[in-house]
Every structure is written in structure tokens, then in C-alpha cells.
Amino acid sequence: MENTDKPQYRKIIHIDMDAFYAAVEQRDFPEYRGKPLVVGGPADGRGVVATASYEARKFGVKSAMTSKRAFQLCPHAIFVYPRFNAYKEVSQQIRAIFRRYTDLIEPLSLDEAYLDVTTDKLGIGSALSIAEEIKRAIREELHLTASAGVSINKFAAKIASDMNKPDGLTFIGPSKLEKFMEQLPVEKFFGVGKVTSEKMKRQGLYTGGDLKKLSEHRLVQLFGKTGKFFYKIVRGIDDRPVHANQEIKSISAEDTFSYDLERGEELDEWLVQIAKSAFKRASHYQAFGRTITLKVKFEDFKQLTRSTSFPQPISTIENVLSCAQSLLKQVDFDGKKVRLIGVGFSNFPEQYLKKENYPIQPTLFPRDEI
Ligand code: DCP
Ligand code: MG
């Protein structure tokens, strides 16, 4: 007879590929193996690191730092541009592996996904065994490594997958979950950026355990809506389902210029190029939004956005261009030069876009990607 007293936990796996872009490069180009490798923009001071091999990370090279900084830290590293098509292909292959076990897959990017294997297709039953099998398939069939986290909710699975990278497999079982959350530093909680973590520390809140001492009311007072999330998560509760076919909210293109630009012809020309890139991407997915947003980042890194909306989707390049141009006219430059501009579509009509069909980090290297 079934024991109805036993709580029915979900079985959630979070998979994240190790040093993804760099690992694909090292797989495809044996001469890069075992060497510090940086995948990103040019090392001319304006480019950005997408990722670095573990050999390069030893020197402190990290995602999102300037390539110039990476070069200072590790001058003997090999620098290569990303090959998005290769990464997209691997991404489809890992998803095909996931689908052997479940259709409840929520990709977060090309290299990362949640899987709900509460009832898996093959009747394996153990989430840990499934995670092991997936890791093995990725290794044997794709010659790459992934790290997996296994737990009863998305939050814990994601934290777990990061704990023993690379090639890690970490399980946080239900009996350990609350204790685990208590010792977790506040920075690890979803939604806690630098500003919030500073704020928390000023309040003497360093760990999940510290947050747990506060009432839900107090947490909401301090942190708004996210306070509700904190209240639950420190108790090991995260009911967010694994959403297959998740909608994406915007499509955009942006570019950091090789030198900062004043208002004028050159900037206008760039705006046209970037608006065209955004349009091309939207065309690719046959998804035109009713809102166009212009993003401007100034030389002092301050950033602003201006949007305009229409009752119908903006689906011709002429309309996109004229919207973007009139939005740029409305921007007060305050005497500053511009470092980056971006143009994006949002507010899509009913037809939705699946995240899994959308390339990761679409804004990093728009010119290479399209
Ligand atoms: N990426 C990027 N820009 C960033 C972060 C990531 O272009 N700021 C790209 C390159 C990464 C890929 O996304 O290879 C996956 O991101 P991860 O954060 O998972 O990083 P990695 O897979 O490279 O390394 P890790 O082993 O830490 O997961
Ligand atoms: Mg990764």
C-alpha cells in the first residue's frame, strides 16, 4: 500500500555546461586543449570576455571583463572570437539528450537548463541516476563536460550545479535543504545584486539563517516583493514550476563602439546598422513587437532607455528606423559621448517566442552573430 504520509517531492535537475564556449573551442581545435583560452571580443580594450577556459581562469580571467584586462592577466592566452553557430548546434544536441528523459525542459540559455524528472520517460525514478546518465551521454557523445545539480526545487538545483564545477554532480536532498539554505551567503540568493547585498549587510544579514529570523512582513518592508521570495526560499520552499516553451520578452541588438561617439552623422549611421541588426533578428524569428526601445549608454557608463509603442507590430525596416531615429532625437546627451547603443523589440502579439530557439547573450557580439 502506498504511504500517503510521505511528502511527494519534485525531482529537479539543473544542468550547466562547463566553460561552455571555451570547451567547444578546445574540443574542435585540439591545439587549444590544456591551454588558457579566452573567447570574446578583440583584446583592444573594447572587447569583452564571453568565457575563458579553466586554464585561463587560474589567472583570474572571467566572463564579462574587458579583453584588455584578460590580456593583462594572462598575456600568453589564446584569444578567439565566438562561433555562435557551433554553440547553438551543441545546445540542440544537449537538449536532444535531455528529451530522452523528460519533455519538461526549461532552457535558460544555450548551455543551461532545468529539467523536471519527477516522472521521467524511461521510468528510472532516481534523479541522481538520470543526472549521471545525462552527464555521461554529454561526455561520450559530445566530448564535453557538464555540471549537474539535483534537488527538489529549481533554486536548490541551480545552486547545487555550481558547487562542484567542472564535471560536478551535487545533490541537495530534502532533509538537508533547510540547513543548506541557512548557511548560504546572501549573495547567492536570486535577486540579490550588489546593492541589495550591501543593504543586507548593513542590516547584519549575511546568510539565509539571518534572513530566516525576520518575519515575512519585515522582509517585504525591506526588500519589496522579493522579500516574499526570501521568506520562502530560506525555508527551502520554491514552488516555481519548470516551464517548457517559455516565452521570451524581447529581441534586441546592441553594440559598443570602438571609440565613444558624439551626437552626429557617425552615431546616426551606427543607429541604422544596429536597428537593422535588431530587425534582422526579429525577422528571423518572425516576431515583431509593438514596442521599440532605444538604449543609450554614455561614456560615464550611465544608461537610459526610450521607448515608443504602437497598436500594431512594427514590422518594416523603414518604421523601425524612423522610430529609432526619433527616439534618439529625444535623448538629452548632457554633453556626454555615447559608448553603446541598442535597439530592441518587445510587447509581442499572441504568437509567442520560445526561449530555446533564441541564441544566448544576443547582445554581446551582434555583428559576429548575424
Ligand atoms: N557568456 C557570455 N557572456 C557572459 C557570460 C556567459 O557570452 N557574461 C556565454 C559564454 C559561456 C556561456 O555563455 O561559455 C555560458 O555561461 P556560463 O555562465 O555557464 O559560463 P561557462 O559555461 O563558460 O562556465 P562555467 O563552467 O562557470 O559554467
Ligand atoms: Mg556554463
Residue at 10 is within a domain: yes
**What is the CATH classification number for the domain harbouring 72?**
3.30.70.270
| Containing structural domain, residue 207 | 177-233
Q: Catalytic pick from 55, 112, 254, 356?
A: 112
Q: Is residue 359 part of a domain?
A: no
CATH code of 273's domain: 3.30.1490.100
Q: Of all helices (H) and strands (E), which one includes residue 278? A: helix 265-284
Local structure of 255: helix, strand or coil = strand
Task: Give the three-class secondary structure for 24.
Answer: helix
Any domain includes 16: yes
134: in domain:
yes
Residue 39 pLDDT class (50, 70, 90 cuts)? very high
CA distance 351 to 353: 7
Are residues 164 and 99 both part of a single domain?
yes
Which residue ranges have their beta carbon within 6 Å of ligand 1? 16-21, 50-51, 63-64, 111-112, 165-166, 360-361, 364
Of the pLDDT bands very low, low, confident and very high (cuts 50, 70, 90), residue 107 is: confident
Whether 245 is in a domain gets the answer no
What's the 5 CA to ligand 2 centre distance in angstroms?
Answer: 38
- Are residue 288 and residue 347 in the same domain, yes or no? yes
Given a cut of 50, whether residue 204 has pLDDT beyond it is yes
- By the 10 Å C-beta count (0-12 exposed, 13-18 middle, 19+ buried), 44 is classed as exposed
Cell triple for 104: 519538461
In a domain, 123, yes or no: yes
- Considering the domain boundaries, does residue 53 fall inside one? yes
DSSP H or E stretch at residue 38: strand 37-40
What do you get for the CA distance between the two ends of the chain, in Å? 59
What cell was used for 235? 525555508
Say whether both 44 and 69 belong to one domain.
yes
Q: Are residues 104 and 221 in the same domain?
A: no
* Ligand 1 nearest atom to the CA of residue 54, by list position: 26
Q: Are 48 and 33 in contact (CB under 8 A)?
A: no
Identify whether the C-beta of residue 279 lies closer than 8 Å to the C-beta of residue 314.
no
Q: Cα Rg for the chain, rounded, in angstroms? A: 23
In this structure, the answer to whether residues 167 and 194 fall within a common structural domain is no
Q: How many domains does the chain have?
A: 3
pLDDT tens track for 140-178: 999 999 999 999 999 999 999 999 999 999 999 999 999
- Find the 50 Cα to ligand 2 centroid distance in Å: 11
Identify whether residues 25 and 167 lie together within a single domain: yes
pTM: 0.73
The residue out of 122, 141, 172 marking a domain boundary is 172
| Same-domain check for residues 92 and 221 | no
Assign 3-class secondary structure to 145-194: CEEEEEECCHHHHHHHHCCCCCCCEEECCHHHHHHHHHHCEHHHCCCCCH
Give catalytic status of residue 112 as yes or no.
Answer: yes
